[in-house]
Amino acid sequence: MTTTDPSAPPQVFARYLTVAGSALTDPALAVHITVDVTDSRHHETSTLRPGRIDMWGRITCTGCHMSTETCGGNDYDQEDRESMSAYLADKSRPAAQAHAEKCRAMPGQ
The verdict on 64 binding Zn ion (CB under 5 A) reads yes
DSSP summary character for residue 89:
H
Rg of the chain (C-alpha set):
16
Report the amino acid identity of residue 66.
M
By CB under 5 A, name the one of 21, 57, 63, 72 that touches Zn ion: 63
User: For residues 63 and 72, which CB has a smaller minimum distance to Zn ion in the complex?
Assistant: 63
Query: If residue 77 lies in a helix (H) or strand (E), which one and from where to where?
Result: strand 67-77
Smallest distance from Zn ion to CB 103, Å? 3
| Binding residues with Zn ion: total (CB under 5 A) | 5
Closer residue to Zn ion (CB): 53 or 95: 95
Q: Rounded to whole angstroms, how far apart are CA atoms 100 and 62?
A: 10
Tell me phi and psi for residue 73, to 5 degrees: 180, -175
Q: Is 61 in the site for Zn ion (CB under 5 A)?
A: yes
Name the site residues for Zn ion (rule: CB under 5 A). 61, 63-64, 66, 103
